[in-house]
Amino acid sequence: MKKNTESKRGKFVRLAEARTNKIINMLQLLGNCSNLGTYEYTSQDVDKIFTAIENGVRDAKRKFNKIGNKKNNEFKLD
């Protein structure tokens, strides 16, 4: 059995790059749906789509900020 020697940083970089590129690609594919010659949609549809995406980005970013700011969540009276 081969022992995994990849560092935590290396694993993060590898996975984060791959997953970020996948998200960017999917956003480009979503943008293809904007062609009114091929598709029909309303401004409400667009608002719902981008609200859902923005909420997902906000939630993911919040997870990263929790890791780096644990000490900032402490109660202080100053």
The domain in which residue 30 lies consists of 8-69
The single-letter code of the amino acid at 7 is S
Q: What per-residue confidence (pLDDT) applies to 4?
A: 78
Looking up tokens 């984060």, which residue turns up? 16
Residue 21 lies in a domain: yes
Residue 74 lies in a domain: no
Residue 78 lies in a domain: no
Residue 65 lies in a domain: yes
Indicate the number of domains in the chain: 1
Average pLDDT (49-55) is 95
pLDDT: which is higher, 2 or 50: 50
pLDDT tens-place string over residues 41-50: 999 999 999 9
Cα 19 to Cα 15, 24, 60: the distances in Å are: 6, 9, 12
